Amino acid sequence: MTEPRLKTEIRVGAHLRRIEAAGAFATIARRGDPDAGAVAVKVYIGARRARLFIQSRDLDGAAVWREPFEGDCEEEKIDAFLAKETSVDPDLWIVEIEDREGRAFLD
């Protein structure tokens, strides 16, 4: 039996509140399925550089975060990757963060 999961909409809302409480700026760039959509977090570092984190599940069903690119890269490359991902997964949520320290505020 799998353990119950929070709706994506609730998790993303809590993530935004945590980010704003820490003094950073965040926005939902794309809303996916409110119940079970995956989440992508783009962290803008500055000078057109960013990092990307994609939520997925491990073999036991636990949520894990992966980075499709090593560290930071060009923002355009991340945007192109996200455009491709959303064409495959229309339920994907995209959260964009601007933080001077480059924090993603992930669990």
28-67 confidence digits (pLDDT tens): 999 999 998 899 999 999 889 999 999 988 888 788 899 9
Mean pLDDT over residues 66-87, rounded? Answer: 94
What's the farthest any 2 CA atoms get from each other in the chain? 47
pLDDT of residue 30: 97
Q: How many CB atoms lie within 10 A of CB 104?
A: 18
- Judging by beta carbons within 10 Å of its beta carbon (0-12, 13-18, 19+), is residue 3 exposed, middle or buried? exposed
Q: Residue 1 — pLDDT band, cuts 50, 70, 90? A: very low
**For the chain, what percent of residues have pLDDT higher than 90?**
73
d(CA 11, CA 31): 12
d(CA 23, CA 13): 16
CA angle at 47 for the pair 101 and 11, rounded to the nearest 5°: 45
- Domains in the chain, CATH or no CATH each: 8-98 (3.40.1530.20)
**For the chain, what percent of residues have pLDDT higher than 70?**
95
